[in-house]
Amino acid sequence: MWNGLIHRIGLSPKLLLGYAGVLVFMMGEGLEQGWLSPYLIGKGLTIQESALLFSVYGFAAAIAAWFSGVLAEIFTARRVMMAGLLLFLLGSVCFLVWGLPSNNLTIMVPTYALRGLGYPLFAYGFLVWVAYEAPPERLGSAVGIFWFVYSGGLSVLGVLYSSIMLPYLGELHTLWSALIFVVLGAMIALMLNRTPGHAEVGNREKASLSYVLKGITIAFENPKIGLGGIVRTINTSAAYGFVVFMPMYMMDIGFSRTDWLQMYAALWTVNIIFNLIFGVISDGLGWRNVVMWFGCIGCALTTLMFYYVPYFLGANYLLTVIAAGLFGACLAAFVPLSAIMPSLAPENKGAAMSVLNLGAGLSTFVGPAVVGLFIGSLGSGGVIWIFTGLYLFAGALMKFVTLPKESAAAAEEGNPRLANIS
């Protein structure tokens, strides 16, 4: 099936094992997503303390995500992915041996953050590989498949595995079992896949501090890339914020923990399907149009639905799952950003992808940070409206993220303001 899909959309077959490896790796990374926050709160942490733990984790992931693009261009994607594996394993062992059992934030925060440095190097390092290997005319489809396997492992298979195994293994042993998936995924992506390609040839001429910093300065040299990075930050910020407070919100309404995990898995199941759909149709409808209308505006509306459907209708499982699925579908419409960003800087794809990856990492920081800062004063409803406003703001920013040919068309239509942004 996968080989047929890869050939039909015109991608190199060598990406097949990489996609499969990312899927399995992200299963291990995402095992705790839907239940770690309520588990920690049940052990005595406050929502704000839980949010702090997830925020610092997200900040560490953002730093690693930022460096992933330029490091992959300098040292090859394979080496960066291997470094990500080693950091993830080291951080996981430290967190499980010393951090989690201590229930002490001064130990938990740095050990969990160390774990957060690993997965962006592995996953986003492979995304740079995709950006180089995929034909430009099929880049939307290629990144759609990447986000399909990324989200499928992180937020569907990992969450479903947890919902099944938690009653048998308990929380701590379930987290230990994550290392099996991480190592297996890395073996599939790195050790079984020996086929060389030009994306795996390091550019030692770029091995300098100035080029590493290019991964951030390019956002100012080309403001469109900077705006795209902001939009990517907003993209999944709500989803990462949800895991901090929505489990408790849903259980207060009357749902069980299993109900919540199934809802969360349903959200991401729909998301991974639409990652493929939006990745393919964006090549025809236009990358920017899909992000702006289906992604930004769609997420603003469905964020409200996900919160207010159970708020007004109570513990109605079916309607809440439908609302969660609609949010997941709209979340997938941001997939074309992974095609837009390298297309804005074809001579510096690694640096452009670093800004995109930085935004992806920052979303794991911004989402929990918004919850930690505002849930005490505004409550869960106020936090939902903040996320809604962020999506509308992202929609306004996308108006200016035009590709070169779109800029030329804008100039011909008498809109030089769009054409002159570069």
Give the pLDDT confidence of 295-336 residue by residue, as tens digits: 999 999 999 999 999 999 999 999 999 999 999 999 999 989
Give the per-residue pLDDT at 270: 93
| φ/ψ (deg, to 5) at 255 | -80, 155
Six token digits for residue 115: 């774990």
pLDDT given for residue 239 in this prediction? 93
CA angle 186/351/330 to nearest 5° reads: 70
Q: Is 316 helix (H, G, I), strand (E, B) or coil?
A: coil
- Using the predicted structure, report yes or no on whether residue 25 has a pLDDT greater than 90: yes
Instruction: Report the C-alpha gap between 31 and 162 in whole angstroms.
Output: 6
pLDDT band at 16 (very low <50, low <70, confident <90, very high): confident
Give the residue ranges of DSSP H helices in 99-201: 100-102, 105-116, 118-133, 139-151, 158-186
CA distance 224 to 344: 8
User: In whole angstroms, what is the distance from residue 309 CA to residue 49 CA?
Assistant: 28
Q: Which of 184-193, 228-237, 379-388 has the lowest mean pLDDT?
A: 184-193
Which pLDDT value is given to residue 75? 81
Dihedral angle at the C-alpha atoms of 242, 248, 252, 256, nearest 10 degrees?
Answer: 100
Residue 421 has pLDDT above 50, yes or no: no
Average pLDDT over all residues of the chain: 85
Residue type, 316: N
Confirm whether pTM is higher than 0.85: no
Residue 13 has what pLDDT? 63
- Mean of the pLDDT values across residues 239-243? 92
CA dist 406 and 392 (Å) reads 22
Looking at residue 163, its pLDDT comes to 85
Percent of the chain topping pLDDT 70: 87
Determine the average pLDDT of the residues in 208-218. 70
pLDDT value at residue 56: 92
At residue 407 the predicted structure's pLDDT band, cuts being 50, 70 and 90, is very low
H helices present in 187-297, as ranges: 209-221, 223-235, 237-253, 257-285, 287-289
- pLDDT band for position 338 (cuts 50, 70, 90): confident
* pLDDT (average), residues 80-101: 94
What residue type is assigned to position 80 of the chain?
A: V
**Local structure of 405: helix, strand or coil:** helix
Q: Which of 385, 401, 211 is nearest to 300 (CA)?
A: 385
pLDDT at 200 over 80: no
pLDDT tens digit sequence for 123-132: 988 888 887 7
Percent of the chain at pLDDT exceeding 90: 48
The one-letter amino acid code at 54 reads F
| 5 confidence band (pLDDT: 50, 70, 90) | low
Domain boundaries, the chain: 12-195+204-401
Report which residue type is found at 59: F
**What is the domain class of 12-195+204-401 according to CATH?**
mainly alpha
Maximum CA extent, the chain: 65
φ/ψ of 413, rounded to 5, equals: -85, 5
pLDDT recorded at residue 211: 63
Q: What is the pLDDT of residues 56-68, one digit of tens each?
A: 998 898 888 888 7
pLDDT at residue 12, as a whole number:
63
11: confidence class by pLDDT, cuts 50, 70, 90: low
Is the alpha carbon torsion for 400, 403, 406, 410 positive or negative?
Answer: positive
Can you give the pLDDT at residue 213? Answer: 72
- pLDDT, tens digit, 9 for 90 and up, residues 368-403: 999 999 999 999 999 999 999 999 999 999 999 988
Residue 410 has pLDDT above 50, yes or no: no
pLDDT at 249 over 90: yes
> Where residue 282 falls among pLDDT bands split at 50, 70, 90?
confident
Which distant-in-sequence residues (6+ apart) come within 8 Å of 55 by Cβ?
Answer: 365, 368, 369, 372
Q: What is the 3-state secondary structure (H, E, C) of 28-60?
A: HHCCCCCCHHHHHHHCCCCHHHHHHHHHHHHHH
Answer yes or no: is pLDDT of 416 > 50: no
